[in-house]
Amino acid sequence: MSDIYTQTLARAAEAQGSTQALASLLHVPESTLLRWMSGRAQMPLQAFLRLVNLLSEYERNGGGYPGAQDPASGDKLSFRMGKLSARCARCDGIEFLPADPLQPLKLTSELVCFACGERVIHGNLIGQLATEAVNQSRAYTAARTRRQARASLPRRADRD
């Protein structure tokens, strides 16, 4: 299953010329990078945000954007990771339009919230979504830990 993490990793590997070069840039073993790219392991948030920044910098310096999509004119864009969606900070909307529909969609592209017109940078939305996914994962883990701790406590009736 392809998600924002795996798509971004594939684009970054293409921009760097190889998975080995990208692994070196991210200071991880290539085997770890390949697990992230295949979706078999979750990429740490800080590494993903660094990757988004690297790709954005690559674009700003005139590098082509590997895998850039040409949004169809007037098509609304939404960015999802599982059940989570990237949201507009002003109105909580989840649909966006390219500010310049004639340009390919890049991480540095400016988008416009379809609901309220707020402008946002594509890469910032992706970073926000990744952060939300990690926060949700941490909340689930904490809740599971609390449930397990409660389940392991002796029942009150057993103590009497």
In a domain, 73, yes or no: yes
| Number of domains into which the chain is organized | 2
Q: What are phi and psi of 157, to 5 degrees?
A: -65, -30
Residues 145 and 99 in one domain: yes
Residues 74 and 147 in one domain: yes
pTM as predicted: 0.70
**Residue 20, beta-bridge partner list:** none
Q: What is the pLDDT of residues 94-148, one digit of tens each?
A: 999 999 988 888 889 999 999 999 999 999 999 988 888 888 888 888 999 999 8
Boundary-marking domain end, from 64, 93, 119: 64
Residues 79 and 99 in one domain: yes
C-beta of residue 110 within 8 angstroms of C-beta of residue 157: no
Query: Which residue is it, tokens 């970073």?
Result: 127
In a domain, 160, yes or no: no
The CATH number for 48's domain is 1.10.260
Residues 128 and 104 in one domain: yes
C-beta of residue 71 within 8 angstroms of C-beta of residue 77: yes
- Confidence at 1, pLDDT banded by 50, 70, 90: very low
| The two three-digit tokens of residue 82, written as one number | 């599982």
Residues 92 and 52 in one domain: no
Which of 86, 82, 119, 85 is CA-nearest to residue 100?
119
Residues 84 and 55 in one domain: no
C-beta of residue 54 within 8 angstroms of C-beta of residue 16: no
Boundary-marking domain end, from 10, 39, 64: 64
Distance CA 72, CA 105 (A): 10
The pLDDT of residue 156 is 61
- Confidence at 69, pLDDT banded by 50, 70, 90: low
| Alpha-carbon Rg for the chain in angstroms | 20
The pLDDT of residue 36 is 93
Residues 79 and 141 in one domain: yes
In a domain, 159, yes or no: no
**Residue 105, beta-bridge partner list:** 69
Domain that holds residue 14: 1-64
